[in-house]
Structure 1
Amino acid sequence: MSSVRLHLTTPPLDPDARRARFGYGDPCPGHAGLAGPATGAWAGRTLDEVAAEDPQAVRRWLTDPQYAPPGGGESVAALIARTGDHLAALAPGTHRAVVAQAVVRAVVVAALDLPPATFWRLDVRPETVTTLSGRAGRWNLLLGAPEAEPPDAEPT
């Protein structure tokens, strides 16, 4: 049976991270199941704006994987399930996708069959690549890849 390799790259953060806004479930070309999470009525707003208006909803979203943001948002549990379904359907070979940090968290939780509450315990840095490889539903997470040498660096 052929193996599957999935490289997930996270884009850079907004230069003013304090003003980062919830997304709209942006599509992931070629990988619909890896689209960003739908945040419903919170889309386009900052976490501070939402927390000022409804701190209990934000607290619940951060602690209850089944809670979905109002207005058609997607729960963490649903995001994990969706990305897990996508992993299971990948054809053999190497796949590359640029995805939101939340999608990387969800993919790792799904691939390693971790409890949904683990989602918020995973830190995913911007402009990094997370690699998973698998075969027959069993996934491995590549950790500790060496840093890439700067493109103009002289070999030593």
Structure 2
Amino acid sequence: MPSVRVHLATPPLDAAARQGRFGHGEPCPVHPGLAGPAMGRWAGRTLEEVAAEDPEGVRRWLTDPQFAPPGGGEATAALITRTGEYLAGLGPGRHHAVVAQAVVRAAVVAALELPAAAFWRLDVRPDTVTVLSGRAGRWNLLVGQQREEARE
């Protein structure tokens, strides 16, 4: 059975990320199933801004994988499912995608069949690469590579 190797690169911090602003469901043009999560009405705001207005919503978002940010946001559980289904459908060979840190978390949780609560326990650093490889639905995780190493 042919193998699949997925390189998930996180971009360096940009000005919005340095300010802690939520994205807008960042696209991933080559791999649309790996788009960032939709944040609904929270998009473009910092966690502190959202928490000041909706502390209960933030608490639920951080503790309940089924809770979606208001206004069309995507629940953590839905992001994990979407990401896992996309990974499962990839054809053999090497795939490279620049993705949001949340997508890396979702991919690792889905690939390793971890509970959804593990999503918030994974710290994904900017400007790094996470590599998943596998075949027949069984994934392995390679951790600790800098972006330059993963290109080889």
Q: The TM-score by the shorter chain falls in which range?
A: over 0.9
Q: Is the 8 A contact 1:14 1:20 kept in 2?
A: no
Residues 1:118 and 2:105 are matched in the alignment: no
Paired with 1:17 and 1:135, the residues of 2 have a C-alpha distance of 34
Please name the residue that 1:78 is paired with.
Answer: 78
The one-letter code of the counterpart of 1:115 is P
3-state secondary structure, aligned to 1:83? helix
SS in 2 for 1:125: coil
**Are the structure 2 counterparts of residues 62 and 2 from structure 1 closer, same or farther at C-alpha, using a change threshold of 3 Å?**
same
**What one-letter code is carried by the residue in structure 1 that aligns with 2:80?**
I
Instruction: Decide whether aligned partners of structure 1 residues 5 and 112 sit closer, same or farther in structure 2, where only a CA change above 3 A counts.
Output: same
- Report % sequence identity: 75
Deviates more, 1:3-12 or 1:15-24: 15-24
The code of the aligned residue for 1:14 comes to D
- Change in Cα spacing, 1:111 to 1:3, as seen in structure 2 (3 Å) is same
Q: CA deviation at 1:147?
A: 8.6
SS at 1:143 equivalent? strand
d(CA) in 1 for partners of 2:20, 2:147 = 27
- Summarize deviations over 1:25-68 as a string: whole Å, max 9, x none: 11101111100000001011111110000111001100000000
Q: Deviations over 1:102-152 (max 9, x none)?
A: 000000000000000000000000000000001011000012448958xxx
Three-state SS of the structure 1 residue aligned to 2:58 is helix
2:37·2:74 contact (CA, 8 Å) conserved in 1? yes
Is this contact kept in 1: 2:128–2:147, CA < 8 A? no
Match of 2:140 in 1: 140
Alignment of 1:6-155 (within 5 A): 6-15=6-15, 19-145=19-145
SS at the partner of 1:131?
strand
Counterpart-to-counterpart distance in 2, 1:13 and 1:74: 22
CA distance in 2, matches of 1:49, 1:146: 32
